[in-house]
Amino acid sequence: MGANQSRNEPTPGEEGDGLNVNDDKLPVTVLRLDNQLNFDHFQILRAIGKGSFGKVCIVQKRDRTGNMYAMKYVHKGECAARGALKNVAREVEILSQLEHPFLVNLWFSFQDEEDLFMVSDLLLGGDLRYHIQQEVVFTEESIILYVAEIGLALDYLQSHNIVHRDIKPDNILLDEEGHAHVTDFNIATVLKGGELASSMSGTKPYIAPEIYMCYLSEYCTLGYSYAVDWWSLGILAWETLAGERPYPLCSTTTYREALEILQDERPTPTGWSSTICELLDKLLTLAPGARISTLKELKQVNAMKELDFDKVLNKQIKPSFTPPKDHLNCDPTFELEEMIIETKPLHKKKKRLAKQRSLKVDHPPEDTVGFVEGAGPSVDFRRLTFIPEYRVYNREREMERKERERKEKQWEEDLNTAMKGAEERLKTKQQPAQQTGNRLSVSTANVKTRISASPRQGRRISTATPSDIDYIDASPEPSTSVITLVLKSTKKKEMDV
């Protein structure tokens, strides 16, 4: 019932979500790492966490940036034996579509012969579970800010039709300044076209009552939607503030017992303000329709009315609690487990895989099916050499592509603007020419009118001959001199006299 117990609780996932790893008809695929990001591009620093389906360590990218990340890795065989391969593949597919200030954003995903890897933002503030176990006393102001930040993340997920289904202190990571970030989308699901989810998914103490009702068929509940995450947020907020959960649920509680406990009246701690009590009451309302389940509804609560959500989104409001910066905010035993207990430690992977690949070249594997250590169905290791459903993702390349598309779009806009400006200038130049042409045609008409009117005025019109012309504006013929032209003109004048 305590925090330590819930830390190691297995998280139920979708029933029947495991991939079919026993299909002998699938071809053997050799994993090529030459042109893609792989394990060798990172330096392993130390282990910092352990989850239901994998472990987490700090890594540094071996490039000019030297950026540091958190690397989560899941062993393929263990994952397949637990029927969780589809969940892990879906998690990467979902995270590759998301980016938000209050999410732990995915940067890279890849695989090798042994493991599936997810490389994400590195947040050194630790998770809320760790700080609750350290008996940190959180103020009401801290809780209100956490609810606002996580609420913004849930609103963003809802805009992408995503239900997280596992909001709990273990899955809220703090950065160095103390801001909250949602992580672990292993059992998240996507709702399309107004559909509802129906599977039993989540961690028992944080599961909303409608999920239990959906599982217990006599309640005839059609399904559940985004409101389940807001219920979990209410449990998380209560536990972070009080140091314990409002309902005595644990991993051994049956689903029917859990629903009965949730339907009982929960205790109200003394010493809390009416503001925080109102917030928690509206988050922990049994009926999903009456519960806070949107950001708009959250903003209407008294606790949130003084918050500027634009500043919250931009992390301009300083949290009351700042995690210690003189040490890693995680359980130090994770590193000891990785170094001492782990049978296939990550820091020895490079040598181990090099040896395995050398053996495969000298002794190709036989066409047989092997078994994963421990319980579980038989697993075709040829199928696990490469899992095509697991997406290879590189956010750096995605950002480069988007920047390239942005520049191309800007170039097209600039080109269209320049062409439009050129057309405008061309039209402006053509207008005076048209006006001049109209003026010339009018002058010609006047001249023709005057000429045609001359006979009616009784004046004699005769054809002009060269001898009637006093002066011709033309160059003389080569055989005619200027003196000859002058003499002819003088002689004509004398005859006229």
Residues of the binding site for ATP? 72
- Helix or strand or coil: residue 219? helix
- Rounded to whole angstroms, the Cα distance separating 218 from 255 reads 13
- Rounded to whole angstroms, the Cα distance separating 255 from 262 reads 11
Q: Which residues contact 60 (CB under 8 A, 6 or more apart)?
A: 42, 43, 45, 66, 67, 68, 69
- Helix or strand or coil: residue 48? strand
- Rounded to whole angstroms, the Cα distance separating 341 from 352 reads 17
174's enclosing H/E stretch is: strand 172-174
- Rounded to whole angstroms, the Cα distance separating 135 from 139 reads 13
Q: Which residues contact 365 (CB under 8 A, 6 or more apart)?
A: 381, 382
CB atoms within 10 A of CB 23: 9
Positions annotated as catalytic residues are 166
Is 302:281 a contact under the CB 8 Å cutoff? Answer: no
Q: How is 298-361 classified by DSSP, letter by letter? A: HHTSGGGTT--HHHHHTT-S--S----SSS-SS-THHHHIIIII-SS-GGGHHHHHHHHHHHHH
CA atoms lying within 13 Å on the CB side of residue 226: 19
Token pair for 206 = 């944080």
